[in-house]
Amino acid sequence: MSHSFAIIVSLFNSFITDKMLDGALSHLQQAGIEKEQIHVTCVPGAVEIPLVAQLLAKSAIYHAIICLGSVIRGDTDHYDYVCQQVSNGCQRVMLDFEIPVIFGILTTDTEEQAIARVGGKEGHKGIEAAETALIMAEIVENI
């Protein structure tokens, strides 16, 4: 497979997103994707992901863009705004540019729930995002 993939990872909550990135990279490489075919961009937080996804999509280099982040609910409404902005932005890029934009953004109430989703009892969302990217790149190529 000669697909190229972009990964955008939020630095906010890096104790979670670092594990997501490691899982995604490992899974892509196990699937035969060479390191040179994977471009990783780090952004400060989840809200910045859609802009970078749009710029990467415009480049027309990648077969899929994997977005990784972790938004953990706090005591304010900020969580709701961030989740809505990121999900809407990623969907818009996917539809506008006709490229798979994989929504690997954890939206959890607690840190414990996030930890359970990066290798705990709830699976590994970084690995799942990479697998989804592989599948979607193949589907889009075959249409």
DSSP count for the chain of H helices, then E strands: 5, 6
The single residue of 3, 63, 78, 124 carrying the catalytic annotation is 78
Instruction: Give the separation between CA 106 and CA 24, rounded to whole angstroms.
Output: 14
Instruction: Give the separation between CA 137 and CA 4, rounded to whole angstroms.
Output: 9
Q: Could you say which DSSP state residue 47 is in?
A: G
Among residues 132, 143, 109, 95, the alpha carbon closest in space to that of 20 is found at 132
Residues β-bridged to residue 6: 39, 65
78 is catalytic: yes
Please give the positions annotated as active site: 78
